[in-house]
Amino acid sequence: MNLTVRIWRQAGPATEGRLVSYPVAGLSPDMSFLELLDVLNQELIAAGEEPVAFDHDCREGICGSCGVVINGQAHGPERTTSCQLHLRSFADGDVIDVEPWRAKGFPVIKDLVVDRSALDRIVQAGGYVSAPTGSAPDAHATPIPKPDADLAFDNATCIGCGACVAACPNGSATLFTAAKVTHLSLLPQGQPERAQRVLDMVDAMDAEGFGGCTNTGECVASCPKGIPFASISALNREFRKASRSGRR
């Protein structure tokens, strides 16, 4: 199949970017979207031009490295990661726009590569259980009801790709933060730091320049791992409860 991709090219954070159109021919519908970019890059290199910079690594949909806005949607038309999107999702002859994640919290580094380290700083603010190595009791000492463990797992599946931020009209990182807060607040191990965790993580999220949440739901629609909308309500509940308790 043949496609035309219009790709955001930007040499660096301080330079202006623009969409550049590239026709790519002889593609297979079994190729992943990133393999399309591979093919294009080989052609660009052969032509003496600079290849398109994009983040990617495992190409199995789990590392969360990849992520581009495809035709206005984070990770494109299917609910998956960009590496697991295949060209069979497009029609022969399509023109496809490819842009980086856009959000105040994610400055562009080059082309489609953005800086997502703000998400790490949100986790550093409290997204953990303080359990120094070697101090753990036997794993069976604390049974956890299966429904709780399953729901915690559903939230723990977040891969930190940042699609939720890119999809949000406010550039909010609420779904990301909600997933972590919900995961840990459901488990007995997460209880002692529960109130402090949510207050610190929400503070960090605001300090990084992410916007507020207005329950638009675009984040949930674009999340490749299906983090539920209910997690945002859970985050809000946790936050209100912790604020009232005055725990700091």
Partner 1 sequence: MPDFVTGDPIADTKAPAAPLENRWDERKFAAKLVNPANRRKHRVLVVGTGLAGGSAGATLAEQGYHVVQFCVQDSPRRAHSVAAQGGINAAKNYRNDGDSVYRLFHDTVKSGDFRSRESNVYRLAQVSAQIIDQAVAQGVPFAREYGGLLDTRSFGGVQVQRTFYARGQTGQQLLIGAYQALSRQVDAGNVELHPRTEMLDLVVVDGRARGIVARDLVTGEITTHLADAVVLATGGYGNVFYLSTNAKGSNATAIWRAHKRGAYFANPCFTQIHPTCIPRSGEHQSKLTLMSESLRNDGRIWVPKQPGDPRPPSDIPEDERDYYLERQYPSFGNLVPRDIASRAAKNVCDAGFGVGPGGLGVYLDFADAIARLGRPAIEARYGNLFDMYQRITAEDPYAVPMRIYPAIHYTMGGLWVDYDLQSTIPGLFVIGEANFSDHGANRLGASALMQGLADGYFVLPATLNDYLGGTRLGEVPADAVTPVETEARERIARLLAVRGTRSVDSFHRELGLLMWDHCGMSRTREGLRKALDRVPELRAEFWRDVRIPGRGDELNQELEKANRVADFLELAELLLVDALAREESCGGHFREEHQTPDGEARRDDENFAYVAAWEYGTPPVLHREQLTFEHVHPTQRSYT
In the structure encoding, which two tokens stand for residue 130, read together?
């303080």
Side chain identity, residue 153: F
Question: Positive or negative, the Cα torsion across 163, 169, 172, 174?
Answer: negative
Q: What are phi and psi of 165, to 5 degrees?
A: -70, -45
Interacting residue with partner 1 among 86, 171, 194, 223 (CB under 8 A): 86
Interacting residue with partner 1 among 20, 23, 88, 233 (CB under 8 A): 88
Q: Which is nearer to partner 1, 55 or 218 (CB)?
A: 55
Contact between 219 and partner 1 per CB under 8 A: no
Interacting residue with partner 1 among 3, 103, 152, 166 (CB under 8 A): 152
Binding mask of the shown chain, residues 178 to 207, with x at each position contacting partner 1 by CB under 8 A: -----xx--x-xx-----------------
**Contacts of residue 125, Cβ cutoff 8 Å, sequence gap at least 6:** 200, 201, 203, 204
Shortest gap between Cβ of 213 and partner 1 (angstroms)?
23
Side chain identity, residue 195: A
Q: What are phi and psi of 202, to 5 degrees?
A: -65, -40
Residues 17-36 that bind partner 1 (CB under 8 A): 27-28, 30-32, 34-35
Contact between 137 and partner 1 per CB under 8 A: yes
Shortest gap between Cβ of 62 and partner 1 (angstroms)?
5
Q: Which is nearer to partner 1, 32 or 174 (CB)?
A: 32
Give the integer Cα–Cα distance in Å for 215 and 94: 33
Contact between 92 and partner 1 per CB under 8 A: no
Contact between 130 and partner 1 per CB under 8 A: yes
Give the integer Cα–Cα distance in Å for 125 and 235: 16
**Contacts of residue 1, Cβ cutoff 8 Å, sequence gap at least 6:** 27, 28, 29, 87, 90, 92, 93
Q: Which is nearer to partner 1, 96 or 225 (CB)?
A: 225
Residue 60, Cβ neighbours under 10 Å: how many? 9
Binding mask of the shown chain, residues 46 to 75, with x at each position contacting partner 1 by CB under 8 A: x-xxxx-x-xxxxxxxxxxx----------
Contact 4, 23 (CB under 8 A): yes
Q: Which is nearer to partner 1, 19 or 45 (CB)?
A: 45
